[in-house]
């Protein structure tokens, strides 16, 4: 079998598993398990907790002690067991710890999927920069297809979504053992702090970089808000609009966000070259403002549905212009010896600390606008929108940056 096709399968199912449950989880926890806002927020905190340290620890194992594709396979096989257990769990305490256990296994596999792909492509004399992106885009396609499958099977409010994910996790784990061997690293040893990107904290001596990192963490908060509450929000229309598309096919509606991602990522080179990182980051923050504000005034019928659709579309700009452009900014603005660590710190701050803060605080906000089990979603979303707008204003004032178009053109990914 063609090696590029085999790696496409790997990346497709890596994110297919994630898409099987991530987007519908908030609605399932609120609808079927009747968890409170704080409880739902805490469950989503597990994404941040698992992202802070586990990728580095697993990376050390895959580098020095056990081939990366085998580590990847073991993690997915073990993860299948946790997903199976989740499907049978109804109480909050057990669900929290089992979900945390699962994500401690799953989150490192995202980086391992990249590492395995890079190594195998390199060993087969492929141009990784050219060949990998078309392979990786199938991961996003897999995520979308999984969302649609769970939606059409009517499992967004069913534990079957976890059985579904478990079956494919087991399959992917076994499949990974058929891949070519990824050799152990012969490079110099790196400390855990280096692998976590902690040595990049030295960059905080630079005002511009320090401001960028701080706002990266604060923007990481809004990423978790979107994951945690979009599905639960659409479920809230069940009583008033039970037959609407937004209620019956919430996953398909939300999937417009992921489709938008694949489009906006293609526009990043143009916007970075034309406007620079400060304007692009501000565009991201304003897109987050629109994402939440449009949710606040949206509903499943008429112009309200139009607002929801536009909210899904602007998500692509909000997500890509922050995540991808931020990574490119770090690549161009940091000293070469810190670049790998700086990228690690960027992920730690956004997917780790930012997600952790976002999960917990968003749960508090949701509960504060909940009376007798009824959530005031307009107020909730407008609070989130105000947060994004305030971030944009403060960032515009504090972040000092002179755009240099020629330097952007030198970055190749």
In tens digits, the chain (413 residues) has pLDDT values of 699 999 999 999 999 999 999 999 999 999 999 999 999 999 999 999 998 878 878 877 887 889 989 999 999 999 999 999 999 999 999 999 999 999 999 999 988 898 899 889 888 888 876 888 788 889 989 999 999 999 999 999 999 999 999 999 999 999 999 999 988 866 556 666 666 666 777 888 888 888 988 998 999 899 889 889 999 999 999 988 999 999 999 999 999 999 998 888 888 888 888 888 889 999 999 999 999 999 999 999 999 999 999 999 999 999 888 887 787 787 777 776 666 677 778 888 888 899 899 999 999 999 999 998 899 999 999 999 999 999 999 999 999 877 766 655 444 33
Decide if 187 is inside a domain. Answer: no
- What pLDDT is attached to residue 411? 42
* 148 and 216 both lie in a single domain: no
Last residue of a domain, one of 153, 182, 211: 182
SS3 78: helix
Q: Positive or negative CA dihedral for 146, 148, 150, 152? A: negative
Residues 264 and 168 in one domain: no
Give the whole-angstrom CA distance, residue 26 versus residue 337: 41
Could you tell me if 294 and 396 lie in one domain?
yes
Pair (124, 205) in one structural domain: no
Residue 373 is predicted with a pLDDT of: 85
Q: Domain total for the chain?
A: 2
Domain's final residue, options 182, 215, 234: 182
> Both 130 and 237 in a single domain?
no
Q: Find all residues with CB under 8 Å of 35, minimum gap 6, and list them.
A: 29, 43, 92
Vertex 343 angle, CA 139 and 227, to 5° = 45
31 and 71 housed in the same domain: yes
* Domain co-membership, 16 together with 114: yes
Instruction: Say if residue 254 is in the same domain as residue 277.
Output: yes
Q: Is the CB of residue 382 less than 8 Å from the CB of residue 293?
A: yes
Q: Are residues 178 and 298 in the same domain?
A: no
Which domain covers residue 122, as residue numbers? Answer: 1-182
Residue 268 falls within a domain, yes or no? Answer: yes
* pLDDT confidence of residue 413: 36
Write down the pLDDT at residue 409: 47
| pLDDT at residue 321, as a whole number | 87
Do residues 327 and 396 share a domain? yes
Q: How many CB atoms lie under 10 A from the CB of residue 379? A: 13
Domain termination residue (choose one: 160, 182, 204): 182
User: Which CATH number characterizes residue 234's domain?
Assistant: 1.20.1250.20
The reply to whether 326 and 347 lie within a common domain is: yes
pLDDT reported for residue 377: 96
Pair 291, 149 in one domain: no
Write down the pTM of the prediction.
0.86
């Amino acid at each position: 079998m063609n090696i590029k096709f085999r790696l496409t399968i790997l990346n497709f199912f890596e994110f297919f598993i994630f898409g099987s449950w991530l987007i519908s989880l908030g609605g399932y926890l609120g609808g079927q398990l009747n968890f409170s806002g704080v409880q739902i927020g805490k469950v989503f905190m597990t994404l941040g907790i698992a992202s802070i340290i586990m990728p580095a620890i697993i990376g050390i194992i895959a580098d020095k002690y056990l081939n990366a594709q085998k580590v990847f396979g073991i993690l997915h096989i073990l993860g299948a067991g946790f997903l199976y257990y989740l499907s049978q769990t109804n109480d909050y305490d057990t669900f929290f710890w089992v979900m945390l256990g699962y994500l401690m296994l799953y989150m490192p596999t995202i980086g391992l999927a990249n590492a395995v792909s890079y190594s195998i492509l390199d060993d087969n004399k492929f141009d990784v920069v050219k060949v990998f992106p078309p392979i990786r885009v199938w991961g996003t396609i897999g995520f979308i297809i999984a969302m649609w499958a769970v939606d059409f099977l009517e499992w967004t409010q069913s534990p079957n979504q976890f059985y579904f994910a478990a079956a494919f996790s087991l399959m992917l784990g076994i499949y990974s053992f058929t891949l070519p061997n990824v050799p152990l690293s012969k490079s110099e040893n790196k400390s855990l702090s280096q692998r976590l990107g902690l040595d990049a904290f030295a960059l905080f001596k630079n005002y511009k970089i320090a401001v960028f990192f701080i706002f990266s963490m604060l923007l990481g908060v809004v990423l978790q808000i979107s994951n945690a509450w979009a599905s639960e929000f659409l479920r809230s229309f069940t009583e008033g609009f039970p037959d609407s598309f937004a209620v019956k096919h919430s996953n398909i509606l939300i999937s417009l966000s992921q489709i938008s991602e694949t489009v906006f990522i293609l526009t990043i080179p143009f916007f970075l070259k034309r406007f620079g990182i400060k304007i692009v980051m501000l565009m991201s923050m304003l897109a987050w403002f629109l994402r939440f504000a449009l949710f606040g005034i949206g509903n499943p019928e008429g112009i309200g549905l139009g607002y929801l659709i536009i909210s899904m579309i602007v998500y692509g700009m909000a997500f890509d212009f922050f995540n991808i452009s931020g990574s490119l900014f770090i690549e161009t603005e940091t000293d070469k010896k810190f670049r790998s660590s700086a990228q690690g710190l960027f992920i730690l701050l956004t997917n780790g600390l930012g997600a952790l803060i976002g999960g917990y605080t968003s749960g508090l906000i949701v509960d504060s606008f909940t009376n007798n089990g009824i959530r005031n979603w307009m107020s909730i979303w407008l609070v989130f929108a105000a947060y994004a707008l305030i971030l944009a204003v403060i960032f515009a004032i504090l972040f000092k940056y002179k755009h240099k178009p020629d330097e952007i053109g030198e970055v190749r990914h």
